[in-house]
Structure 1
Amino acid sequence: MFAVDAASQKLGIELIELDDGHARMSMTVTEDMVNGHAITHGGYVFILADTTFAMACNSYDDPAVAARCDIRYLRPTKAGDVLVADAVERARFGRNGIYDVTVTSGDEVVAEFRGDSRTVSR
């Protein structure tokens, strides 16, 4: 799935690790990703977290999509920072799943994301 994700590929998102219910990805913040405050635009942090969530909830045989998700931004990042997102499955039942994604820069947590997935027919 990631190999044909043109949006994530274009942003330089890299897949580090993938296992059942878990994914780890990274992205380097470029000058094109900062806003007028010279910090990373929240949408780019969200895209990294959302892509990592997508990889984790699609790590099984059943295709899944986001049913709901939200993010909490905890601290800003800037151009040159490497963001790493870790997605962990919290629950999987029926056609539903709940995943938490922590986005870090170095040792600091910069955002927390939660996503609910729903499996769909092929």
Structure 2
Amino acid sequence: MNAQELAEACAQQMWNSDSASQRLGMVLRHIAPGEATLEMELTEAMTNGHGNAHGGYLFTLADSAFAFACNTYDSVTVAQHCSVTYIIPGTLGDKLTATAREVSRKGRSGIYDVTIAREDGAVIAEFRGHSRMLGTPLLSTTRSDG
């Protein structure tokens, strides 16, 4: 299995159990080693008292993209620390894209940046996630490689 096939298998394994991302209407658009792109449309249930996107939903979108990106190597990997900077508000109906990319992966630790943008390319938020590999395979050790 090459690196791209491994990333795809890991993403499928995670997606099958990711109720949160699925129930929020997220769609996984791209996966590659250390990379992931997810999309989500902002619904009325995701707006705050100002009528803008609630920051928690933006964080969740970025966190999901981060999770898929850092779990592309067949090692269960979790968030160790995350931060988000909100740049401009998202609004009801915006179709958002979260693009995660690996910045660094050394030993059991990694750093990933996620940009959330609207359809017109305007950046809504920037997220940085620090990951930690747990040393457990993500895929079943009894999987068939053929």
TM-score w.r.t. the length of structure 1 is: 0.98
Match for residue 58 of structure 1?
71
Q: How does 1:6-17 map to 2 (within 5 A)?
A: 6-17=19-30
- Quote the sequence identity (%): 49
TM-score w.r.t. the length of structure 2 is: 0.82
Q: How does 1:43-82 map to 2 (within 5 A)?
A: 43-82=56-95
Give 1:117 shift.
0.3
After superposition, the C-alpha distances for 1:52-92 in whole angstroms (9 at most, x for unaligned) are 00000001111100000000000001110001000000000
Give 1:3 shift.
1.9
Say if 2:54 is the partner of 1:38: no
CA RMSD of aligned residues (A): 0.6
2: CA distance, partners of 1:96 / 1:5: 23
Say if 2:119 is the partner of 1:103: no
SS for the counterpart of 2:127 is: strand
After superposition, the C-alpha distances for 1:87-115 in whole angstroms (9 at most, x for unaligned) are 00000000000000000002100000000
Match for residue 132 of structure 2?
118
Give 1:28 shift.
0.3
The amino acid across from 2:80 in the alignment is A
Say if 2:111 is the partner of 1:93: no
Q: Which portions of structure 1, spanning 4 or more consecutive aligned residues, are displaced by more than 2 angstroms? A: none
2: CA distance, partners of 1:65 / 1:116: 9
SS for the counterpart of 1:77 is: coil
The amino acid across from 2:124 in the alignment is V
**Structure with more of its chain in strand, by fraction:** 1
Unpaired runs of 5+ residues, structure 2, are: 1-13, 137-146
Number of aligned residue pairs? 122
**Structure with more of its chain in helix, by fraction:** 2
SS for the counterpart of 2:99 is: strand
